Structure formats: structure tokens, C-alpha cells
Amino acid sequence: MPTPLFFNRFRNRQIVILAALILLVLACFPSVRYKCKSGAVWFFTLPAKVYGQVTLYFYDKKRLVLENRLLRGKVAELTLKFHQSEDILDENKRLRALEAFKERHNFTAISAEIVARDPNDWMGSVIINKGEKDGLSTETAVCSSKGLLGKIVEVWENESMVLLLANPDFKAGGVTLAGRVSGVVTGAGSAHAKMLYIPMDENVNVGATVVTSKLSRIFPEGIIIGKISGIGKDSTGLFKVADIDLAADLTGEEEVLCVSKQPDKEAQTAPETKSAS
């Protein structure tokens, strides 16, 4: 019976023969030697290649996430700047419209901004950022570029309270441009007003424009109030009552003009200066 030592020697001899045959084949066939060499290189470098690809994938993913975050921040910044530029353009248009309104009516005017509203009386009153030190006083008319907004009822050092035209406590003399029909304009709430005490025999039509009357003690003549949207009778049946859609936007205005009944002194002196020259 063969001994284990015999089997070990036999197995070693087989390994030596097999190695010799492999070396002979590699020596006799260069193409096989090249393929084997390439296969060995590929086999031993495969882990390094896989590790490199995985590392590159996660590096690219991290870089893309960072770039995406930066781009989102840039988009948000540009969007904010765009909206700011739109706000500046809108403000410029509003200020130009106010200046044109002032020149058209030849007013002594002080510009102001609406800075606060009473949440419990949104259509009733507002606070503006000009007051006593700016030369304002109570019973001063307040306008937007579209028309009459209200009047100042309280004045502090740096701010004033404006009673809006839609407030039921507001009253002003009004007249229609067509026919010159006079009446008393009072607030009716929710961007509307009424013209009271119109004689029954007066001819007043829907669509007629109502402006401030020259008989008003507070308001300069000719400031547009709104257009008549309906006509009826009062509770006594002695007078007509006209519903008015207001020209000014009581909720959307941001800049206003505080105007007095006296004309602009600079505008008055300009023709005198020209005639003297």
C-alpha cells in the first residue's frame, strides 16, 4: 500500500510538470503569453479600478449636490433682485403720476407714504409718515394720483391720521362735471361713497364724474372723487341720492399728496417772473 510520502512526492512531481508545460507554452506562443499577462494585470488591477470608479461616483454626486445648492441660492437671489427692481419701477411710476397730478391741479402739496392701517378699520383710516413738523395740520386734503383719498383728522409730530373717503364719517362738497349739480359726498364703506341732497329736479346721469366743489372749505376745487354708478331717493323722498364708485384705490395706494386749498406759490410766481423778464 503506497505511503503518504509517496503521494506527496507524486503530487509535487505533477505540479512541477504542469508548471514546466505552462512555461513551455508561454515560451513557444507569445500571443498566449501576452494574453495571460494582460489577464493577470487586469485581474490584479480590477479592485483598484472598482474603488476608483466608486470614489469618483460619490465625489461627483457630492459636487453636483453642492453645485445644485449654490445654483438654487443664486436663483433665489436673482428672483429677489428682480422683484425689488419691479417694486422700484412701480414706485417710480407712482411718484411720476403724483407729480403730474400736482402740476395738473397747481397745488401746494407735501408728499407722504402710508405706513400703517388699522386692521379693525381697514377702509376707514390710515397713518402717513408726515406730521406737524412737516407743516401738516388737520382738515388737510389727502390725494392719490387717481383722485381724492380723504382728509387729515389727527396730527402728531412725525405722523398723521387720515380719514378715508369711504368712511361714513367723511363729508365733502361735491359737484358733477356735467351739469354742475352739487351735493354732499359722504362715505358708504367698501370703496364707495354717496352724494346726498341732490334736488329732485336736477338731471343726474349714471357715469357722470363727481369732483370736489369750489364751495368746499377744505378741499381744493376739481379733485376727482369718482363716477356715479346708481341714482335713487333718500328716506324722505325730497332729494336724490347718487351712489359713487371711487376713483382712488383706498387699499392699494402707498404714496399720497397732502394738499391745501391755496395754490402752489412757485407756480403762481413763475408767470410773474416771465412777464418781468
Which long-range contacts (C-beta less than 8 Å, at least 24 apart) are formed by 196-203? 196/234, 196/239, 196/241, 197/239, 198/239, 198/240, 198/241, 198/242, 199/239, 199/240, 200/233, 200/238, 200/239, 200/240, 202/240, 203/179
Residue 52: predicted pLDDT:
65
Q: How confident is the model at residue 110 (pLDDT cuts 50, 70, 90)?
A: confident
Nearest to 182 by CA among 216, 149, 207: 216
Question: In the prediction, which pLDDT does 26 show?
Answer: 55
Domain boundary residue, one of 49, 83, 105? 105
Q: Which residues 6+ apart lie within 8 Å of 247 measured at CB?
A: 146, 147, 148, 224, 225, 226, 227
Q: How high is the pLDDT of residue 160?
A: 94
Residue 274's pLDDT is 37
Residue 254: helix, strand or coil by DSSP? coil
Residue 88 confidence class, pLDDT cut points 50, 70, 90: low
C-alpha cell at 276: 418781468
Task: Give 101's contacts (C-beta < 8 A, 6+ positions apart).
Answer: 143, 144, 145, 257
Q: Alpha-carbon distance 188 to 139, whole Å?
A: 20
The larger pLDDT score, comparing residue 80 to residue 116, is at: 116
The amino acid at 252: G
> Any idea what the CATH number is for the domain that residue 121 is in?
2.40.10.340
Between 215 and 261, residue with greater pLDDT: 215
Please check whether residues 76 and 110 belong to one and the same domain.
Answer: no
Q: Pick 186 or 6 by higher pLDDT.
A: 186
Average pLDDT over residues 90-112: 66
Pick from 85, 105, 125: which residue ends a domain?
Answer: 105
The closest of 178, 117, 173 to 148, measured between CA atoms, is 173
- Residue 268 inside a domain? The answer is no
Taking alpha carbons only, the member of 161, 159, 91, 95 closest to residue 129 is 159
pLDDT of 148 higher than 60: yes
- Give the span between the Cα atoms of 113 and 137, in whole angstroms: 16
Q: In terms of pLDDT, which residue wins out, 206 or 53? A: 206
Q: Is 212 in contact with 220 (CB distance < 8 Å)?
A: yes
My answer on whether 127 and 239 are in the same domain is yes
The tens digit of pLDDT for each residue in 217-233 reads 888 888 889 999 999 99
Q: Which residue has the higher pLDDT, 115 or 263?
A: 115
**pLDDT at position 264, please?**
47
Better-scored residue on pLDDT, 205 or 254: 205
State whether 95 and 171 are in the same domain. no
Please tell me the predicted confidence (pLDDT) of residue 78: 63
Q: Chain centroid to CA 121: how far?
A: 23
Confidence tier at 95 by pLDDT (50, 70, 90): low
Domain count for the chain:
2
What's the mean pLDDT when you consider all of the chain?
77
The HSE-up count of residue 29 (CA atoms within 13 Å, CB side) is 12
For the segment 72-97, the average pLDDT, to the nearest whole number, is: 62
Q: Look up the domain containing 78 and give its range.
A: 1-105
Q: Write the pLDDT tens digit of every residue in 16-43.
A: 666 666 666 555 656 655 566 666 666 6
Reading the block at residue 53, the C-alpha cell is 470608479
* Listed residues 78, 105, 132: the one ending a domain: 105
Q: Kindly report the pTM of this predicted structure.
A: 0.59
Query: What is the reported pLDDT for 204?
Result: 92
Is the pLDDT reported for residue 265 higher than 60?
no
Whether residue 270 is contained in a domain is answered as no
Task: Give the tens place of pLDDT for each residue, 48-72.
Answer: 666 667 676 666 777 777 877 777 7
Local structure of 76: helix, strand or coil: helix
Answer whether residue 224 is part of any domain. Answer: yes
DSSP-derived letter for residue 220 is: P
Task: Evaluate whether residue 273 is within a structural domain.
Answer: no
